[in-house]
Amino acid sequence: MSLYTINPTSTQAWKKLTEHYEATKNNHLRDLFAADTNRAENFSLSWNDFLLDFSKNKITKETIALLLQLANEVNLKDAVQKYFKGDAINETEGRAVSHTALRAKKTDTVLVNGQNVVPEVYEVKEHIKTFTTAVISGEKKGYTGKSFTDVVNIGIGGSDLGPAMVTEALRFYKNNLKIHFVSNVDGDHVHEILKELDPETTLFVIVSKTFITQETLSNATTIKNWFLKSGSQEDIAKHFAAVSTNTEKIAEFGIASENVFPMWDWVGGRFSLWSAVGLTIALAVGFENFDALLVGANEMDEHFKTENFDKNIPVVVALLSIWYNNFYNAETEAIIPYTQYLSRFSAYLQQGIMESNGKSIDRNGKSIDYQTGTIIWGEPGTNSQHAFFQLIHQGTKLVPADFIGFKKSLHGDTDHHNKLMANFFAQTEALMNGKTADTVRKELEAKNMPKSEIEKLVPFKVFKGDNPTNTILINSLTPKSLGSLIALYEHKIFVQGIVWNIFSYDQWGVELGKQLATTILKDIKESEIADHDGSTLQLLQSFKK
């Protein structure tokens, strides 16, 4: 069954939100806190070991009520049911969007095209388990009888970003295998990685949902040729594994059938780390940890599927983001994790969020005249404080931000962790409160600065504050909590796509890039250059000189 197509701007809630925005936009966050002593409690949600404090947002109870009304008017409930029921809600590709089935419980039934896919999912999980256990233990060996020391993940987009982000995020739980990622078609990338490797002890995992992606196939071929300088054609079976929906193409590449891991077209690339695309994750941290990641995601799925919208973490964060995107005209959102382990988190979310919701055609095929997908960026704190926080504090742009922090550090260095978290709390407080001219004056007077100098400096040292943030405070960074955190953002993407009346699960814009590069590659290789605009022509001629 198709998703409803409702223009969100035609709803009653949208009209009321527009008026509500005009009426409340000048209320400073400081005043909102002063007006309600229970504000923190009123705008917080606790779930498992997560605490979402969204009280530092420019909202009142009425804002939330209207945003929830918007969710109801666009029929979010019906959409959630269709999502989990395996309906073909990726309509432009005629596919279901069932990555949640990858983390379903063994006893669950998840129908895709009328068929329960859970047994197949568990078959592949069992294969991941046996394969990764044999590699990690050293039982599975390379062509000269040595155990593997290195693993190279060859993939791009969803076949790289998810595994790379999670492998880094779970570094604390890592075993001795050294993990490398080759993604860019830039030959310097692959050759830099190869420089470090010994063909006798390296396992290569080619990950490509389609197995036709130029970058991945070029890298895989370069690596295969490099490998064949030492090993033979038969040895490929011992050193290469592949994950794909395209089993025919895998066979052509010469990969042994026991090293082939299927995936399915009902799993989008950017939501695929839970499938065999996560093979590298399971190699890096062991199957148990990989499975715990899936359990964490499954728990978030259950929360999202069953909890009332007003207590539903993905729904609430999605609606808040719509509030800023569509009413405050905020163009970007920052994701600031206060842990170095999540250094790839915003890069990962850039694909998830921007590839999904970067659309300007609605579900009726009509052009949209309101804002959709937000621009995502971010870096871990505290490094980001010394890089771009100046702009968030005192620039001209509104940048709503998610602060993600953990109560416990993994290495247990309390001194460092207290300092880290002091910054975490201080920044959201400062972004909210700002610093008034009076406070600045008092601070400078305390330093015995002459009055005339103080007055000159005051405007530069004033922080207007009123910058909205969400705080997500989690007990500790474990495979399970990470799984829940990623799933939270996945469902946020879904909710926003439903409200904006777009299809979140295709990516025609990226497909175009793939076609264009193929045409120009011909121009580069052949003597004649086809017709192009003057600039492209000049650049191509200069490149070929």
Asked if 309 and 294 touch (Cβ cutoff 8 Å), the reply is no
Q: Which residue has the tokens 């050193």?
A: 239
- Would you say 163 or 468 has its CB closer to ligand F6P? 163
Q: Which of 63, 208, 467, 470 binds ligand F6P (CB under 6 A)?
A: 208
Cα–Cα distance between 351 and 358 in angstroms, integer? 10
State how far the alpha carbon of 412 is from the alpha carbons of 91, 407, 409, 478, in Å: 48, 11, 5, 14
- SS3 category, 72: helix
Asked if 338 and 420 touch (Cβ cutoff 8 Å), the reply is yes
- Would you say 149 or 350 has its CB closer to ligand F6P? 350
Cα–Cα distance between 15 and 13 in angstroms, integer? 5
Cα–Cα distance between 109 and 107 in angstroms, integer? 7
Stretch 318-377 residues interacting with ligand F6P (CB under 6 A): 355
- SS3 category, 465: coil
Look up residue 435 and give its DSSP letter.
B
Starting at the edge strand found earlier in the chain, the sheet holding 240-244 runs: 178-182, 150-154, 202-207, 240-244, 260-262
Beta-bridge partner residues of 260: 242
**Known catalytic residue at 416:** no
Q: Which residues contact 139 (CB under 8 A, 6 or more apart)?
A: 133
Q: Which of 8, 86, 142, 158 binds ligand F6P (CB under 6 A)?
A: 158
- Would you say 183 or 478 has its CB closer to ligand F6P? 183
238 binds ligand F6P (CB under 6 A): no
Q: What is the DSSP string of 350-379?
A: IIIIIIHH---B-TTSPBP-S----EEE--
Q: Which of 202, 216, 427, 469 binds ligand F6P (CB under 6 A)?
A: 216
- Would you say 267 or 319 has its CB closer to ligand F6P? 267
Sole window of 165-173, 208-216, 252-260, 478-486 interacting with ligand F6P (rule: CB under 6 A): 208-216
**Known catalytic residue at 355:** yes
Q: Which of 270, 303, 363, 480 binds ligand F6P (CB under 6 A)?
A: 270
Cα–Cα distance between 272 and 263 in angstroms, integer? 9
- Would you say 309 or 348 has its CB closer to ligand F6P? 348
Q: Which of 210, 218, 222, 350 binds ligand F6P (CB under 6 A)?
A: 210
163 binds ligand F6P (CB under 6 A): no
**Known catalytic residue at 331:** no
Q: Which of 97, 124, 128, 156 binds ligand F6P (CB under 6 A)?
A: 156
Sole window of 210-218, 232-240, 338-346, 437-445 interacting with ligand F6P (rule: CB under 6 A): 210-218
Active-site option among 61, 311, 386, 419: 386
Active-site option among 419, 442, 514, 544: 514
Active site residues: 355, 386, 514
Which stretches of the chain bind ligand F6P, using CB under 6 A? 156-159, 208-210, 213, 216, 269-270, 355, 507, 510
